[in-house]
Amino acid sequence: MFLIPCPYCGERDESEFSCAGEAHIDRPLDPDALTDEQWGDYLFHRKNPKGWHQEQWHHTAGCRRYFNMLRHTVSYEIKAVYKIGEPAPEIEQ
């Protein structure tokens, strides 16, 4: 059970949140310009790193804001949380 520092509310229990998967997947501005393969990559292909992972989270049962998190998939350490639109912190894998 994580203790998650929501950038809007501070530290709250994981049970208030839901994970929305990998962060920084931008919707293509012109979908028609993409081949099926490129579009499929946007839709389905996700990183599965053993190490630091940029994730999108939702404070579903709290402030209801989406935000990004830098979390380690082995130690589960949360190195940083940052608001949507803010740059991702540097990662040393």
User: Which residues bind to Zn ion, rule: CB under 5 A?
Assistant: 6, 8-9, 59, 62-63
Q: Smallest gap, in angstroms, from Cβ of residue 34 to Zn ion?
A: 34
Q: Within 13 Å and on the Cβ side, how many CA atoms surround 21?
A: 8
Which residue in 12, 16, 19, 65 binds other proteins (CB under 8 A)? 65
| Alpha-carbon span 51 to 2, nearest angstrom | 17
| Alpha-carbon span 59 to 66, nearest angstrom | 6
Pick the closer one to other proteins by CB: 44 or 90: 44
Is 86 an interacting residue with respect to other proteins (CB under 8 A)? no
